[in-house]
């Protein structure tokens, strides 16, 4: 039977899995090259919404399970989770409300100008010309400057340990004292397990000062991708979604992001506090959530390839990982069980 668990990766998927296992009595440790704000998760806007992940049916099920957990966490401000009104826009088409969003209270915005919630009279004039259609939905928002620390502290309180600056070339290099290995390596799984289906979807954001009276999240997936996500102490402007593994900040992209977000909000270009780049781990064949056997006979459960939905799928996928362990008692198999 599984007694000790090693988790590779300290992003939101790794941390959430760690909390789930440690709080159920497993001896659990995280091993990662980067932790906290230095992870890809630290660069995320972290708004709950299924985005850039496949397959749709499983993604939606995991997302809805995560939604329930996050709604509960939003009752405690110390978690960094809050509920926010999302306004999802389209510049070109009549945007459909997803079937899964209707039971959550999604509604079409009858007036885009009203839906935009302009921050000044200047914003109201002409705002309705920016988009053709929109809908609104209340969703969880995770302030990564708070939430990642909350997860880490909750994990440590449950008896877990976090080991930074650890780089494995293969999963068999994990200390053999761990019965189970959980692979939450994100984009690093390309090399770690030689997964050619994994591709980096580069996202760049600009963190700007808090914007007065911006109380909702503005998102438009049409080109150019843009979002303005107000957090407790600042605001996240984005963004980009391109296939690239370049982690260097592109000043031209920052200028474009700030200009577009400021244009939509009808404000002067905001001052940039900092810029962040992250690589969304998109997997062309879909999220990998399955159980395998390592060469040394130990069990590994893969949990990566969440694309732009790492936070959105985190709790649902973590519970699925736990279910695989509970159901099969740690017995090894090469059969996918997703």
Nearest-Å Rg of the Cα atoms of the chain is 20
Confidence band of 111 (pLDDT split at 50, 70, 90): low
pLDDT at 127: 43
Beta bridge partners of 274: 207
- pLDDT reading at 84 higher than 90: yes
Q: What is the mean pLDDT of the chain?
A: 91
pLDDT at residue number 83: 98
Q: Which residue has the higher pLDDT, 68 or 326?
A: 68
pLDDT higher than 90, residue 12: yes
| Share of residues in the chain with pLDDT > 70 (%) | 91
State the pLDDT at residue 41.
Answer: 98
Read off the pLDDT band of 328 (50, 70, 90). low
Classify the C-alpha dihedral 233-204-38-284 as positive or negative. positive
Short-list 9, 3, 137, 140, CA closest to 68: 140
Residues 6+ apart with CB under 8 A from 193: 171, 183, 185, 302
Query: What contacts 24+ positions apart, CB below 8 Å, involve 245-250?
Result: 245/187, 245/200, 245/202, 245/279, 246/202, 246/277, 247/277, 247/279, 248/277, 249/204, 249/275, 249/276, 249/277, 250/204, 250/277
Residues 252-291: pLDDT tens digits?
A: 999 999 999 999 899 999 999 999 999 999 999 999 999 9
Alpha-carbon distance of 36 to 101, in angstroms, equals 31
Q: Is 274 exposed, middle or buried (0-12, 13-18, 19+ CB in 10 A)?
A: exposed
Residue 114 pLDDT greater than 70, yes or no: no
Residue 224: the pLDDT is: 84
Report pTM.
0.91
Q: Which of 71-85, 93-107, 128-142, 211-225 has the lowest mean pLDDT?
A: 128-142
- Distance in angstroms (rounded) separating the CA atoms of residues 138 and 104: 8
φ/ψ of residue 286, rounded to 5:
105, 160
């Amino acid at each position: 039977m599984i007694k000790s668990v090693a988790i590779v990766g300290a992003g939101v998927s790794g941390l959430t899995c760690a909390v789930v296992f440690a709080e159920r009595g497993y001896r659990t440790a995280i091993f990662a090259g980067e932790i906290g704000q230095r992870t890809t998760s630290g660069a995320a806007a972290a708004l709950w919404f299924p985005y850039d992940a496949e397959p749709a049916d499983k993604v939606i099920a995991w997302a809805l399970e995560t939604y329930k957990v996050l709604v509960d966490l939003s009752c405690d401000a110390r978690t960094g989770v809050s509920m926010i009104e999302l306004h999802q826009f389209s510049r070109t088409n009549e945007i459909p409300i997803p079937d899964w969003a209707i039971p959550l209270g999604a509604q079409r915005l009858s007036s885009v100008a009203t839906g935009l919630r302009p921050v000044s009279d200047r914003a109201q004039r002409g705002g309705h010309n920016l988009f053709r259609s929109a809908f609104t939905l209340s969703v969880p928002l995770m302030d990564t400057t708070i939430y990642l620390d909350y997860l880490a502290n909750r994990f440590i309180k449950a008896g877990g340990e976090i080991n930074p600056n650890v780089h494995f070339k293969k999963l068999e290099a994990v200390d053999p004292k761990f019965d189970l290995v959980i692979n939450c390596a994100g984009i690093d799984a390309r090399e770690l397990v030689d997964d050619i289906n994994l591709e980096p979807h580069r996202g760049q954001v600009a963190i700007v000062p808090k914007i007065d009276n911006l109380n909702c999240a503005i998102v438009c997936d049409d080109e150019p991708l843009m979002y303005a996500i107000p957090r407790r102490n600042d605001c996240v402007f984005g963004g980009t979604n391109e296939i690239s593994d370049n982690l260097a900040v592109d000043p031209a992209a920052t200028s474009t992001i700030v200009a577009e977000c400021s244009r939509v909000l009808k404000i002067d270009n905001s001052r940039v506090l900092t810029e962040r780049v992250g690589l969304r781990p998109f997997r062309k064949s879909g999220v990998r959530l399955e159980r395998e056997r390592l060469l040394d006979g130990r069990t590994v459960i893969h949990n990566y390839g969440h694309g732009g939905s790492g936070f959105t799928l985190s709790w649902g996928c973590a519970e699925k990982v736990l279910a695989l362990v509970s159901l099969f008692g740690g017995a090894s198999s090469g059969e996918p069980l997703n």
